Chain A
Amino acid sequence: MDNETLKARILEIVPEAQQEENKQFLTLLLPAAKLHDLALKLKNSPELAFDFLFCLSGVDYIKQLAVVYHLRSTQHKHALVIKVKTDDRVNPNFDTVCDIWRTAEFHEREIYDMFGIRFNNHPDMRRIFLEEDWKGYPLRKDYIDEVNIVEF
């Protein structure tokens, strides 16, 4: 399925999706509430069949926190990038997709660890790398750690 049909198909499911400019992949910005719904359809509908979540990253855009899902279909070889953003920096949360793509379980924990974005319904929402009592979320742009970061 080429990017245009793909986009049309997704807009059918989520009309609010906005396309972002990207040379490599079709990138769509979604409202957070529709994420899980769409993810389920992306995985399960046979002509989309996005079964491989090959990257899941958090990005701190200073104004917003975002989670980027890189998806590919091993069957149809098409790829798609989904992005969700939130303005809430204090208690950001999204729905988990780890019941759809199991690999998300660890990646979401990592994002929680590094960005403080919580994922609802995640089975094991703990920090993965840092200690439980670590203060702050290191990959956020406003994170300052006087103790561990050496400034040159």
Chain B
Amino acid sequence: MSAESLILFFIVGAFLVGIALLFSSLVPPTSTNPQKAEAYECGIPTEGITWLQFNVGYYLFAIIFLVFDVETVFIFPWAVMMKTLGMKAFIEIVIFFFVLGIGLLYAWKKGALKWE
């Protein structure tokens, strides 16, 4: 089978969820109750709004991740072709990794790898 048939798996997956949701929304008995629709917070009504600006503390991680993820894309072709490219490419990739490592070390020393 070809890669186009991926669409099949997409459809089958969606079908599985869709049919079950449909069944579940039609067959089981339903009862409405305003308290049922409350968000669960250990039995206490929620105070304040939920979606407010949130200090997640991993923006820096996201940025470092972005850097590394892009770099991984560069590594993939080399990894596949490494045997044919030989020693020269290896030395080049060592230099590339060295630069990456310096970057990581810098971020580490700067304290970017800390969840605040």
* Touch between chains A and B, by CB atoms below 8 Å: no
Interface residues of A (CB under 8 A from B): none
